[in-house]
Structure formats: structure tokens, C-alpha cells
């Protein structure tokens, strides 16, 4: 019997390793890819508000289908297949067409292409603006060869400024356009720049490109501070939510993300239920099996980051993600082969999540615990969906910073998993025995406070690496505390169901809400200020939580069954998670 159980555990460990290794190359990079495709942080935040809710709904629905029709393995393999294919197809999502600064044969203009609407847009702009002159600012992506033209022909009297600028992957320009000087050709508008005049580094320059040089045409973000122009040319800047919803390419991208999220929800829910079924009464060993997933994630995330940087053009701003989509397709394919060896059991998943977790509200202690892990969800959303966007903003300020950014992001994820999560998964049982659940909950909140404040103080992107060791506190210890507490709160025999339900609420409510707040703040203030706000918020939550727990210890003694379970959370025999 022991040999059979060990083989089953080996199969589930292999699945956790391969599935996490297969999703690690793509999942962390999706928010940055969305920005590269042209979408604003608000659009990113809105997508990642909806995706966890879809996952929250998908888990019980497909769990019920698997139980009702006894097709656990079929749904499990189908979830893996759809996850792999959906992520792979994202490779073919087209980027939003952006304005281009065209400079060739002595003529400079801003080219905007938008299908068959070019003639209508030209008429609208001429009718609305007449002879008005619009002052516009632009940030254009730059390749090293483009800087050769800028230095030789634009900044002829400012060689020092040129030397300082040419290491950047972007250029900031100011110029002006008039509606009467707009040309139309091949479904594109050409907004002519009078006399090729512009402003760079607070000095006037003539944006001249000679006939014998390669065509100079970087993609740009353009802002003329005119709402009507943004309505007519919605792609002239980073795409907001209203503009994105009118674009087929956005729905293609978002639709594939939805399919992949549903697939991952099915795989995670059936996989965890299978793991609990194999373990039987040894639910406390679930964390040990999940360690293999952390190992796969940490290793493959680093490899993916290195490969993306290696295969992208040096000095370019856009990254080539092709390799990571192939990695996901191949690795999850191996996971499907390994998963055929798994023995699936009854998942016992009700479609009514609220009913399953309703018993958590039978005491004030449970309500406080529920609000605590929702607060953690807010913080995790900011880290999962926006930390790398912040890092890339920092990297732009340093020479060649964009060339190594994916390698750095891979290192960040490796340290989070291997240097933070893994050690804390092993020692979390010991920590909970020594300090109890309440103090562990306080420590997690304080860890988020310190982590976010340190993020807001970053001056160089590489300084983030030692900060990531705090992931052991803010995720490793958090997950152990949540899992241990859930087993104590749950009535006998429902521990596994309670844990999966709490995880679903954590992502479907906490992470979803945090994604929306984070996306709005990134646009309204700045990335640095957003982390500062979340840091202050975490400190306030820490103080409030400490005060509430002190009050409960003095005024809310246990009186009945479920409350008694919660009141005994500091007993050593009930707190072992990974030990």
C-alpha cells in the first residue's frame, strides 16, 4: 500500500512541477505584453479584475461537472490542453497600430494608419480644427541606428546632449501640426510637421533625414492635449478602456486570456482535489506536494527571462516573447503525458461557494480572518500584475536598462520562489507553533507594509532582489496560515473543500479588487506613489488588525462548536502545515 501511495504522490508532484513550469514562462509576463501591445494600466487592471472572477466561477462549475459525469481525467487533460493552446495563440495577437514618426528624404510627418477610415478622419479634423495649430508631445521608441541620424543631423550643435541621449531606448520630442496640412494615402493619414521643426532637450531642432539614409520611422505615443483628436485618433496614445473595447484585436487577446484562465482554474481545482484524495487524512502534507510547483515556477521563470532578453533586439524597447509561448506549449504537453498516470478521486465540489464558506461568519474571529486574507489579496494583486511594469519604468532611466529587464524579472521570480517561499513552506509549521496564527497574521501584514515602502524607495531596478526575500513572509507564511486556519475552522471531513473555497475567494475577490485599484492608481498618480499608498494602507491594516485581535482576546471568548475550533488555533497539534 505504501509503494502505491508513494507512486501516486510522485505523479502529483510531477504534475505540480510541470504545470507550474509550463505556465511560469507566460503568466508573469502577460501584463507587460499587454502594455507592449498598446494598452494602458487601466485596461490591464480591468482585465485582471475580471479574470480572477472567471476563475472563481469556473472552479466549482467544472468541479461539479467532473463529479456529476465522473470525467475527472478528461476535464483535467482538457484544461491543460486549452491552457497551452490559448497561451500559444497569444503569440499571434497583433499589436495596436501606433503613430509613426516618418523622416525620409528631407520630409518629416506623423503617419497614422487605421483601415478604411482615413478619408473620414481627415475630413473630421479639417472641419473641426480649420487652420488651428496643435502643439503635440511624443515619446518614440528608438533603435541604435536611429540615434545615428539624430546625432548627425538633428543635434549638430549639441554633441554632449547626443552622447547622453543615445543610450536611451526612447526619445521625447515636441512639435506641432495643423489640420490643413494632412495628406492621405493608402488608408493612412500623414500629419505633416511644418518645416520639420521640433524641440528636443529644450532646444529647437530640424528633424531632417537625408535621401541616402534608411527610413527613420519609430513608433510613438502622441499627446496633443485635445480630447477631440483623441476621439478621432484613439490610437494616438496608450489605449484606454473605452477605445480598447471597440477593437477586435483587444477581444482576441482578452478572449484567449479568459480561455487560459478557465483552463488553469480547472487544472488547479481538480489537481488539488486529486492531491487531497491521494493524501487522505494527511492533509497537512499538501504543502509538500505544492513545493514541487514552486520549484518548477522558480526555475523556468528565470530561464524564460534569460531567453526573452537573448532573443530580443539589443537596444529595442519591444521584447520578443515567441520562445515563451513555445515553452508553455511543450512543457504542458509533457504534463499531459505525466497526468495520465494520476488516479482521480471524487472532488466533492458544490457549485455554491458562498454556502461552503458561510460557516466562516459564525464568529467575529472568522470574519476578521476572512477580511485579513482579502486584504492580502489586494497586496498580492499589485505584486502579481504591476510590479514588473514598475520595474520596466525604472529600467528605462538607466543605460541599456531594457536589454536585461526580463532576466531581472526572471531572477525576481526565482528569488520569490526559491529564496522566499520554499524555506518558509518548510519552517511555517514551526513558526505557527511558536507564535500562533494571530501573530503570524500580524507579521504578514507588516511584511507587506515593509515590502511596498521599499518598492516605493527603489532608485535602481536591481536593488529589488534582496527585497524579494520578503515573499517568504508575504506569501509562504500567508499561505501556510490560511491553510492551517481553514482546516481548524472547517467541520471534520470538509477541510480540503474549505481550503479550495478560501483560495477561490482570495483570488476572485481580493486579487480582483486589488487589480482594479492598482490599475487606476498607476494612471492617476504614478507607479512609485501607488506602492507607497499600498504600503501605508498595509501599515494601517496591521495596526487595526492588532487592535481588533487584542479586543477579541479580551471580550470574545469561545462559546460554541465552530468558535471553539477557532479559539484553539494556537494549539501546537493543530498548526502543522509543511512539517
Can you give the pTM of this predicted structure?
Answer: 0.76
Instruction: Report pLDDT for 360.
Output: 57
Give all strands of the β-sheet with 197-200 in edge-to-edge order: 203-206, 197-200, 170-178, 133-141, 220-223
Per-residue pLDDT 10s for the chain (579 aa) are 444 456 777 888 888 899 999 999 999 999 999 988 888 888 999 999 999 888 888 877 777 777 677 777 888 899 999 999 999 999 999 887 778 888 877 788 888 876 556 778 888 888 888 888 888 888 887 877 788 888 888 876 655 566 666 667 778 888 888 887 888 876 788 888 888 888 887 788 888 887 766 667 787 878 888 878 877 776 555 677 877 887 888 999 999 999 999 999 888 878 877 777 777 766 656 667 777 888 899 899 999 999 998 888 766 667 889 999 999 999 999 999 988 887 765 555 444 545 555 555 666 777 788 888 889 999 999 999 899 999 988 887 776 667 788 999 999 999 988 888 888 877 777 888 888 888 888 999 999 999 999 999 998 899 999 999 999 889 888 887 877 776 676 655 555 566 666 777 777 788 889 999 998 998 888 899 999 999 999 999 999 999 998 888 887 654 443 333 343 333 333 332 232
Q: How far apart are CA 333 and CA 413, in angstroms?
A: 23
Grid cell locating 137: 508631445
Q: Where are the beta strands (DSSP E) in 251-408?
A: none
DSSP conformation letters of 292-307: HHHHHHHHHHHHHHHH
- Of 53, 59, 30, give the one whose Cα is nearest residue 43: 30
Instruction: Report pLDDT for 103.
Output: 82
Euclidean distance between the first and final Cα of the chain, in Å?
A: 22
Candidate CATH numbers 3.20.20.10, 1.10.287.610, 2.102.10.10, 1.20.1250.20; the one for domain 354-399+415-572: 1.20.1250.20
Angle subtended at Cα 407 by Cα 406 and Cα 413, rounded to the nearest 5 degrees: 90
**Helix, strand or coil for residue 375?**
helix
List the domain boundaries for the chain. 1-96+255-284+316-341, 100-238, 354-399+415-572
Instruction: Report pLDDT for 246.
Output: 77
Q: How far apart are CA 58 and CA 507, in angstroms?
A: 12
Q: Residue 210: enclosing H or E segment and its boundaries? A: none
Q: How far apart are CA 367 and CA 13, in angstroms?
A: 34
Instruction: Report pLDDT for 114.
Output: 64
Instruction: Report pLDDT for 492.
Output: 58
Q: Is 560 exposed, middle or buried (0-12, 13-18, 19+ CB in 10 A)?
A: exposed
Grid cell locating 521: 492608481
Instruction: Report pLDDT for 214.
Output: 62
Q: How far apart are CA 485 and CA 444, in angstroms?
A: 14
Q: How far apart are CA 343 and CA 12, in angstroms?
A: 9
Angle subtended at Cα 511 by Cα 417 and Cα 409, rounded to the nearest 5 degrees: 35
Please state the φ and ψ torsions of residue 102, each to the nearest 5 degrees: -100, 125
What distance separates the 2 farthest-apart alpha carbons in the chain? 87
Instruction: Report pLDDT for 408.
Output: 92
Cα 462 to Cα 189, 401, 411, 412, 466, distances in angstroms:
42, 10, 10, 9, 9
Instruction: Report pLDDT for 116.
Output: 54
Q: How far apart are CA 491 and CA 97, in angstroms?
A: 56
- Of 253, 241, 261, 252, give the one whose Cα is nearest residue 52: 261
Q: CB-hemisphere CA count at 13 Å for 557? A: 2
Give me the residues paired with residue 198 across strands: 205
Residues 122-142, buried b or exposed e (16+ Cβ, 10 A)? bebbeeebeeeebebebbbbb
Residue 120, number of CB atoms within 10 A of its CB = 11
Q: How far apart are CA 195 and CA 574, in angstroms?
A: 78
Grid cell locating 171: 526619445
Report the helix count and the strand count for the chain, using DSSP H and E: 23, 9
Residues 6 or more apart whose CB falls under 8 angstroms from that of 527 comprise 386, 389, 390, 393
Q: CB-hemisphere CA count at 13 Å for 18? A: 21
Cα 321 to Cα 187, 189, 327, distances in angstroms:
30, 30, 10
Amino acid at each position: 500500500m505504501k509503494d502505491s501511495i508513494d507512486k501516486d504522490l510522485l505523479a502529483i508532484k510531477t504534475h505540480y512541477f510541470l504545470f507550474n513550469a509550463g505556465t511560469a514562462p507566460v503568466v508573469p509576463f502577460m501584463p507587460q505584453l499587454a502594455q507592449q501591445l498598446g494598452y494602458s494600466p487601466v485596461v490591464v487592471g480591468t482585465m485582471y479584475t475580471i479574470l480572477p472572477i472567471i476563475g472563481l466561477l469556473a472552479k466549482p462549475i467544472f468541479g461539479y461537472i467532473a463529479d456529476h459525469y465522473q470525467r475527472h481525467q478528461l476535464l483535467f487533460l482538457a484544461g491543460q490542453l486549452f491552457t497551452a493552446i490559448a497561451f500559444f495563440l497569444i503569440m499571434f495577437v497583433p499589436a495596436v497600430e501606433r503613430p509613426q514618426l516618418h523622416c525620409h528624404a528631407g520630409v518629416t510627418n506623423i503617419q497614422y494608419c487605421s483601415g478604411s477610415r482615413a478619408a473620414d478622419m481627415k475630413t473630421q479634423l479639417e472641419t473641426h480644427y480649420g487652420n488651428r495649430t496643435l502643439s503635440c508631445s511624443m515619446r518614440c521608441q528608438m533603435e541604435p541606428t536611429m540615434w545615428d541620424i539624430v546625432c548627425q543631423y538633428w543635434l549638430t550643435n549639441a554633441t554632449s546632449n547626443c552622447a547622453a541621449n543615445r543610450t536611451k531606448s526612447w526619445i521625447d520630442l515636441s512639435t506641432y501640426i495643423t489640420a490643413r496640412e494632412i495628406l492621405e494615402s493608402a488608408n493612412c493619414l500623414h500629419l505633416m510637421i511644418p518645416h520639420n521643426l521640433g524641440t528636443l532637450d529644450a532646444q529647437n531642432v530640424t528633424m531632417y533625414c537625408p535621401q541616402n539614409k534608411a527610413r527613420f520611422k519609430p513608433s510613438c505615443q502622441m499627446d496633443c492635449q485635445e480630447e477631440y483628436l483623441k476621439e478621432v485618433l484613439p490610437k494616438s496614445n496608450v489605449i484606454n478602456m473605452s477605445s480598447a473595447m471597440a477593437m477586435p484585436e483587444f477581444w482576441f487577446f482578452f478572449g484567449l486570456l479568459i480561455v487560459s484562465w478557465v483552463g488553469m482554474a480547472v487544472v488547479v481545482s481538480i489537481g488539488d482535489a486529486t492531491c487531497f484524495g491521494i493524501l487522505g487524512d494527511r492533509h497537512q502534507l499538501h504543502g509538500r506536494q505544492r513545493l514541487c510547483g514552486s520549484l518548477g515556477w522558480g526555475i523556468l521563470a528565470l530561464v524564460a527571462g534569460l531567453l526573452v532578453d537573448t532573443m530580443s533586439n539589443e537596444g529595442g524597447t519591444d521584447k520578443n516573447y515567441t520562445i515563451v509561448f513555445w515553452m508553455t506549449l511543450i512543457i504542458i504537453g509533457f504534463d499531459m503525458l505525466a497526468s495520465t498516470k494520476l488516479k482521480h478521486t471524487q472532488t466533492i465540489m458544490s457549485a455554491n461557494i458562498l454556502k461552503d464558506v458561510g460557516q466562516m461568519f459564525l464568529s467575529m474571529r472568522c470574519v476578521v480572518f476572512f477580511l485579513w486574507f482579502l486584504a492580502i489579496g489586494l497586496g498580492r494583486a499589485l505584486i502579481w500584475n504591476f510590479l514588473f511594469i514598475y520595474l520596466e519604468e525604472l529600467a528605462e532611466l538607466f543605460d541599456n536598462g531594457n536589454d536585461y529587464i526580463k532576466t531581472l524579472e526572471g531572477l525576481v521570480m526565482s528569488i520569490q520562489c526559491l529564496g522566499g517561499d520554499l524555506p518558509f513552506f518548510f519552517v511555517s509549521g514551526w513558526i505557527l507553533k511558536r507564535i500562533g496564527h494571530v501573530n503570524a497574521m500580524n507579521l504578514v501584514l507588516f511584511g507587506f507594509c515593509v515590502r511596498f515602502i521599499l518598492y516605493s524607495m527603489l532608485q535602481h531596478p536591481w536593488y529589488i532582489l534582496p527585497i524579494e526575500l520578503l515573499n517568504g513572509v508575504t506569501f509562504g507564511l500567508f499561505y501556510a496560515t490560511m491553510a492551517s486556519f481553514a482546516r481548524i475552522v472547517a467541520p471534520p471531513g470538509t477541510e480540503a473543500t474549505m481550503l479550495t473555497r478560501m483560495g477561490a475567494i482570495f483570488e476572485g475577490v481580493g486579487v480582483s479588487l486589488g487589480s482594479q485599484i492598482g490599475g487606476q492608481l498607476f494612471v492617476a498618480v504614478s507607479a512609485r506613489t501607488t506602492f507607497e499608498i499600498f504600503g501605508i494602507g498595509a501599515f494601517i491594516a496591521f495596526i487595526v488588525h492588532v487592535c481588533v485581535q487584542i479586543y477579541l482576546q479580551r471580550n470574545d471568548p469561545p462559546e460554541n462548536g465552530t468558535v471553539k475550533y477557532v479559539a484553539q488555533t494556537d494549539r501546537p497539534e493543530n498548526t502543522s502545515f509543511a512539517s
